[in-house]
Amino acid sequence: MSLSHHSDPTPDVLLVQRLFVQEISSLRGMLWALVPDPYRLDDIVQETFLTVTRKAADFEEGTNFRAWLFAIARYKVLHSLRQGALEQALAPEVIEMLLADAPETEDFDERLLHLRDCVQKLPPQARNMLRLRYENALSIADVADRLGRQVNSIKVMLSRVRSTLRKCVEYAQLHPAPKP
């Protein structure tokens, strides 16, 4: 009985795998904004890697690899949401805002930076609530329990915080700070 023989990777596969490794930090940053569960985030990164490898012949050298990679990852996130494999911790409008057109452009990195800056401007209690809800992936009921508040109160506060963050990111994009 012989073991199956695996052929050596093609030049296309080697190229996309090398480019993937160069972009993995950006990919994880993009996904971090959408996938609060670190284990599911790792799964999506791995699924994206496997798809990129499988579709290596479809990538044209010299074109925008990041845009291609992010588009594949975006479909993986959407597929996970549709299959119920990913808890939708972010509000649908936030996911739509982040997925709309940003992952295919350099603009997405800028939006993530603005989002992080905007989160830092929030009062400590709002940041703590966001951390519990999105970083720790707690349910709204668990966040309410931890903070000693009513579930409806947390829902309203999260809605207001998301609205504040959305407006802050939009403002930061329209009024960029001068570069030093």
pTM of structure = 0.52
State the residue for tokens 């407006």: 167
Domain 106-180 in this protein, CATH class: mainly alpha
Provide CB contacts within 8 A for 103, sequence distance 6+: 30, 67, 70, 71, 73, 74
Assigned CATH for 10-89: 1.10.1740.10
HEC readout, 44-86: HHHHHHHHHHHCHHHCCCCCCHHHHHHHHHHHHHHHHHHHCCC
Predicted confidence at residue 159, as pLDDT, reads 85
Residues of each domain in the chain carrying CATH 1.10.1740.10: 10-89
Tell me the pLDDT of the chain (180 aa) as tens digits. Answer: 444 445 677 888 999 999 999 998 888 877 876 776 778 889 999 999 999 999 999 888 888 898 889 889 888 887 777 666 555 555 555 555 555 544 444 555 566 677 778 888 999 999 889 878 876 667 888 889 999 999 999 989 988 988 888 888 888 878 877 655
Residues of each domain in the chain carrying CATH 1.10.10.10: 106-180
Predicted confidence at residue 166, as pLDDT, reads 82
Rounded Cα–Cα distance for residues 75 and 111 (Å)? 19
Using the Cα atoms of residue 73, residue 97, residue 120 and residue 155 in order, give the sign of their dihedral: negative
Predicted confidence at residue 131, as pLDDT, reads 79
